[in-house]
Amino acid sequence: MGSTNGHFCAVLKFNKIGKFVGQEGGSTYKCNARVKEFSLKNTGMIINIAHQTFAAAVEGMDKTRGVGPDFPVEQTYRDFLDGRDSIINYTLNLISGKE
């Protein structure tokens, strides 16, 4: 997920629009932007250094954590290998009143 996804999710969560099912998001309500890109001569590695930080208009959220789920659900490697989507299954059960 990109940083704008964190902005969007934070605004939805702060305004109590919908519910989040699954795991903590990979970005926060703050993001760094206006990036300057450098390519290291010897390794070819690309380094990005941000010049600005943007934040969504929310309060009370931890800037070091992604947006947390209202209903935490883990997708295990066994679920994945068995072709089972535990998060969508939980969500469908939640919608139908089974959870």
CATH number for the domain spanning 67: value is: 3.90.226.10
Task: Give me 21's structure tokens.
Answer: 């099912």
Non-local (6+) Cβ contacts of 23 within 8 A are 69, 72, 73, 74, 75, 87
Alpha-carbon span 75 to 23, nearest angstrom: 9
Give the pLDDT confidence of 1-52 residue by residue, as tens digits: 456 888 899 999 999 999 999 999 988 898 877 788 899 999 999 998 888 8
pLDDT value at residue 5: 85
How many folded domains does the chain comprise? 1
pLDDT digits (tens, 9 = 90+) for 40-87: 999 999 998 888 888 899 999 998 999 999 999 999 999 999 999 999
**Domain enclosing residue 86, as ranges:** 3-96
The angle subtended at Cα 49 by Cα 53 and Cα 27, nearest 5°, is 50
Residue 79: how many CB atoms within 10 A of its CB?
A: 15
